Amino acid sequence: MIYLGCHLTSAKGYENMAKEAISIKADTLQFFTRNPRGGRAKEIDPQDVGRFLALAGEHGFGRIVAHAPYTLNPCSKEEKTREFAYMTMADDLARMEYTPGNYYNFHPGSHVGQGTEAGIELISRLLNDIIKEEQTTTVLLETMAGKGSEIGGSFEELAAIIDRVNLKEKLGVCLDTCHVHDAGYDIAADPDGVLAEFDRVIGLSYLKAIHINDSKNPLGAHKDRHEVIGAGHLGRDAFARLLTHPLLDGLPFILETPQPDLAGYGAEIKMLRELIK
């Protein structure tokens, strides 16, 4: 079995997210820890989180995914930006302990001209400074489309980051289907081949979550424009194969498709559940 959910707004708190997820028959979810462009996070209300945990337990939720703001760039050229990444991630991980044992996903970052090697070094340094032995959260590196100077457009780059981090058991990877397709991995036509490559380079034990998005662009376009499932270059069949793939059993699958509202996600989840019935 797999867990299926979508990105939800955290603006109205944790309990509200659980209720929204349940209302569209989702059994996992993703949310931004704060405004996606950065800024301060809302104060955690332990009672709100308590009600969330009770609902998630009752409804058999899988692990949930918190997503770091897009502006977080651990390998920026600017020290101020790297400092923001450090402060934000440290604060987010402290807050994540209110919902223990879940995932914190971030974009590895853009090296903006410093070169891939320098970027990988800065990212792994940040992770070594931040990740603590006692944390229960697993930090996920997201696979990227390889747009501009983005790090993480190849499995090798993610493996190189993981290789330099000491507490590897606190690390994982979130595979975004739109991103890997845009990066040139043919996840639609050859899921077995791409997963074998992932296993060879990174190790499948690191694969903890899937972002399921179709793509507006052809294979290898390095663009990163998400499309609703079935309307893009990956196509419905590709998602039927992935959602039922034995190597992906038990993982949370999160939609980040351009739906206008919660009802749109509800319809998409219903379609996917029917597709794999």
- Tell me the catalytic residues: 37, 67, 70, 107, 142, 176, 179, 211, 224, 226, 256
What contacts 277, CB < 8 A, 6 or more positions away?
none
Count the site residues for Fe ion by CB under 5 A. Answer: 4
Give the three-class secondary structure for 167.
coil
Confirm or reject binding of residue 226 to Fe ion (CB under 5 A): no
Query: Between β-strands 214-215 and 226-227, what pairing exists: parallel, antiparallel or unpaired?
Result: antiparallel
Residue (27 or 224) nearer to Zn ion, CB:
224
Residue (19 or 149) nearer to Fe ion, CB:
149
Site for Zn ion in 208-237 (CB under 5 A): 224
CB of 70 vs Fe ion, minimal distance in Å: 7
Confirm or reject binding of residue 176 to Fe ion (CB under 5 A): yes
CB of 25 vs Zn ion, minimal distance in Å: 24
DSSP state letter for 174:
E
Residue (150 or 176) nearer to Fe ion, CB:
176
Piece of the chain touching Fe ion by CB under 5 A; list 33-41, 158-166, 203-211, 237-245: 203-211
CB of 182 vs Zn ion, minimal distance in Å: 8
CB of 45 vs Fe ion, minimal distance in Å: 26
At position 2, the amino acid (one-letter code) is I
The DSSP annotation for 181-226 comes to HHHT--TTT-HHHHHHHHHHHT-GGGEEEEEE-EESS-TT-----E
Count the neighbouring beta carbons within 10 Å of the beta carbon of residue 23: 11
Cα dihedral 32, 151, 93, 98 sign: positive
Confirm or reject binding of residue 63 to Fe ion (CB under 5 A): no
Question: What are the helix and strand counts (H, E) for the chain?
Answer: 9, 10
Give residues in contact with Zn ion (CB under 5 A). 224
Give residues in contact with Fe ion (CB under 5 A). 142, 176, 211, 256
